[in-house]
Amino acid sequence: MILRQAGVVFSALMIYLQFIPAASAQERIPTKTAMQQGIRKAGRASVKAFAFDTLKQVQTGGPFSAVVVTADGYMLTVAHATRPGKTYKISFPDGNSAIAVGMGRIDTNEQETLPDIGMMKIVTGGNWPFAEMGSSGKMVKGDACMMIAYPESSGLPFPSIRYGLITNPADEHHFLVTDCTMEVGDSGGPIFDMEGRVIGLNSRCQVSESLNHHVPVDEYRKYWSSLIQPKNYTRYPAPDSNWAVNLPQPHA
């Protein structure tokens, strides 16, 4: 379903991009083949999640979204959707499901500012589809992007794909801002560049549909060693010393 949906909107996206005023942004758009490959890989790794009682086998919380970024099942999401040590059930677009637990979570309780950073880990055995982490710091205004997440209003077992543009690569609170419209259920879902690399995670939105705020993926890189521990951080932990080394090029 993801690929059929992507095919339907692909032509409309290309027409939309023709009206971007900045020539530099136009030149950064990848080829159609690269985009199709990116959609396929990104879609497989985008999951729906909810709190789950493994003894009673019942859902105990509302749905949210996440993305798997390693073959052994580490997932990126946001702090307001997950808690360290809590059990979750996740569902992949192909119908497979697994059990996960909440890992590190950074939330300083500051209003409308970073961080809103959370991580989960699949504990069901397996080799899981995953998306590559890109580099949010290399994105610029006007770059094309896509959101693959699970809006609650759809009630569907597979995600929706929404295309858009980066309207601000870093606002005053350090969020990545796009015009990919969010709704309930999209929290924690991934924003990708057009080659399927994660560049941000859905955090919050404003009344204006053009103001959708995402935690930059570089924040997860920066605190990776702390986030893979099941701890709640009320202040920033120490950053990893080598987190910025060999960052991938989103438009290589």
One-letter-per-residue 3-state SS of 100-155 = EEEEEEECCCCCCCCCCEEEEEECCCCCCCCCCECCHHHCCCCCEEEEEECCHHHC
Looking at the DSSP bridge assignments, the partners of residue 176 are 214
Least confident span in 25-34, 60-69, 87-96, 187-196? 25-34
- pTM (two decimals): 0.85
Please name every residue paired with 202 in a beta bridge, in sequence order, or none if there are none: 214
Average pLDDT over residues 109-123: 89
Note the pLDDT tens digit of each residue in 40-67. 889 999 999 999 999 999 999 999 999 9
Distance CA(161)–CA(158), nearest Å, equals 10
